[in-house]
Chain A
C-alpha cells in the first residue's frame, strides 16, 4: 500500500483558492488517487478521484504530474463550510484492496 504524506494543517480565508498537496512516492502503476473530506462526527465524503493529469468536478480539481509521485487538490473560492479534514488516499483500481487512512490535513477557513 502506497503511503501518503500531506500537511497536518492549513489555514486560509473565504474566497481564496486552496491547494493541498499530497506526496505518494511509492505509488504503483494500478493505483488511483482519491480525496475525501470529513466533518466532525460524520463519515468521510468522496471529493474526487484521478489517475493522471487533471480531473475536475463541481467541487474541486485534482492535478497529478506525469511521475504521479504527488497530487494537488484544488478547492476554488473556499467558504467557511469547507473547514474540515481532507484525506489523500492511494487505492488500487479494481481490487478488493483496503483503504488505509493517513493523518489528513486539517483545513481551517477564516472569514
Chain B
C-alpha cells in the first residue's frame, strides 16, 4: 500500500511554544490530507481537512488559529500547534487520500506524540 510519513514521531515542548508536524505522502500525490487527534483509549477525532492550494476546513470545536494547517504541495501538509498548552498533549495522526481509476483510499501516517510541559 501507499506510504505516509510524519515528522517528528514525538516531541516534547514547553508551554507557550509552537510545534510543527509534517505529513508527507511518499509514493503518491494527495490533493486531500486529513489531521486527527487521538487521546489514550479513545478513537481518532478528525480535526481538519487539508486541501492542496486552498484553506483547510476545520471540524466544529477545533480552533483554526491554534491549529494552523498548510498544504503547500501535493505531497506535504503541515500542522502547527501554536502556543501549545498541556491540554494539547495528544497523539496527532495525518492521513493522505490516494485516488486513481480503481482506488480511493486513505492511508495514515505513523502519528506524532506531542507532550507539552
Contacts and interface: CB of A to CB of B under 8 A. Distances in A.
B93 interface: yes
A13 interface: no
A32 B44 CA distance: 20
B115 interface: no
Interface residues of B, number: 27
Interface residues of A, number: 23
A96 B95 contact: no
A99 B106 contact: yes
Contacts of B111: 41-43
Contacts of A45: 108
Contacts of A98: 34, 46, 49
Given A44-B93, A87-B43, A91-B106, 15 more contacts: A34-B106, A41-B113, A43-B94, A43-B108, A43-B109, A45-B108, A46-B106, A46-B108, A91-B104, A94-B99, A94-B104, A98-B34, A98-B49, A99-B106, A101-B43
A99 B43 contact: no
A100 B34 CA distance: 11
Contact of B32 (A41, A96, A102): A96
Interface of B: 1, 4, 6, 32, 34, 36, 43-46, 49, 51, 91, 93-95, 97, 99, 104-111, 113
Given A98-B49, A99-B95, A32 B32 contact: no
B22 to A, nearest CB: 14
A95 B110 CA distance: 24
B34 A99 contact: yes
Given A34-B105, A93-B104, A96-B32, A42 B110 contact: yes
Contacts of B4: 43
Interface of A: 32, 34, 36, 41-46, 49, 87, 91, 93-96, 98-104
Most buried by B among A32, A96, A102, A103: A96
Contacts of A101: 36, 43-46
Given A43-B108, A43-B111, A46-B107, A99 B32 contact: no
